[in-house]
Amino acid sequence: MHGITLPQSGWLAAGFDKNARVPMALARMGFGHVECGTVTPRPQEGNPKPRLFRLSEDAAIINRMGFNGCGIDVFARRLERFRVLQAGRNATLRAVPIGANLGINKIGARPLEDYPFLASRVGPLADYITINLSSPNTPGLRDLQSAATLRDILQAITRANVTLPPLVVKLAPDLNPESLSDIVEAAVEGGAAGLIVNNTTISRPHSLRSSFAQETGGLSGRPLAQLSLQMLRQIVPLVQNRLAVISCGGIESGFDIFERLRAGADMVQVYSALIYHGPALVTRLKAELLKELYRAGFDSVSDLKSSTR
């Protein structure tokens, strides 16, 4: 799949295991892949607290964490230890791919140098690398999603690294639809293998009921579902099977996964649903997806995907 060898079921998005502390435990929970990060070149504390809000009435989360994390040195050492442990475990755990999500520091960032540096550190340790240009909580980060800048960043990464796992670009759901075609072409020309559609949104649907609804930050969870699906349907025709497309945002049921796959996603990721439903979520989603597939007359995800091409 465009160089990405991930199970089609997906699943865990970046943000949960920011510092690569528990990839083994998450793999044991049944996730098809685990994405660690976002990691920055240097450690940083992130934004002042409170910076995370649970909108329980809306099954949503708002965060303005600001890439708080341990920095690339500690992150890489933990991935190295994980790889040693993974090599000694059973075949199921060895088969769980690990992604590394890369970002820039709030102060002193040099994107054309920072992203290649980060990629060189995690390249030997990750099965794929995500370039995060879409968090709303680092000033100026989303400006890097312009087609020209995205192309420059991807080309800088590939020039600086002879051997790399597949590169994936994570996009914001708030992009101007008219810019999507140029962004897709820049991703293709820059050598990306896939797109994650999408990150959190700075928009606020009128349906939100929580008292935290107007907190600053990125909104994720159920209220993001339709916006994410809409962007997926815009991106897929532009991609034309040249990139893998990973759908993320508001997925909390087997039907949600089925709908994203039917809309052209190659795989999905979840995050907020895990916070609300806990570890049992993974088993439930797999069972519900199977029921949706059989109800629609498909024997497998592969059968469904074949019907969408």
**Which residues in 30-44 are b (16+ Cβ under 10 Å) and which e?**
bbbbbbbbbbbbbbb
- Whether 9 is catalytic is no
Is 13 within 8 Å of 271 (Cβ atoms)? yes
Quick check: 297 and 308 in contact, CB under 8 A? no
- Contact (CB, 8 A) for 171 and 195: yes
Q: In angstroms, how far is the first alpha carbon of the chain from the final one?
A: 13
β-sheet bridge partners, residue 49: none
Of 192, 201, 246, 199, the residue nearest 223 (C-alpha): 201
Distance CA 219, CA 194 (A): 23
280 Cβ contact list (under 8 Å, min separation 6): none
User: Which candidate in 9, 134, 135, 220 is catalytic?
Assistant: 135
- The answer to whether 91 and 102 have CB atoms below 8 angstroms apart is no
Structure tokens at 220: 């994720």
Between the alpha carbon of residue 307 and those of residues 194, 264, 289, 303, the distances in Å are 21, 10, 16, 6
Residues annotated catalytic, as ranges? 135
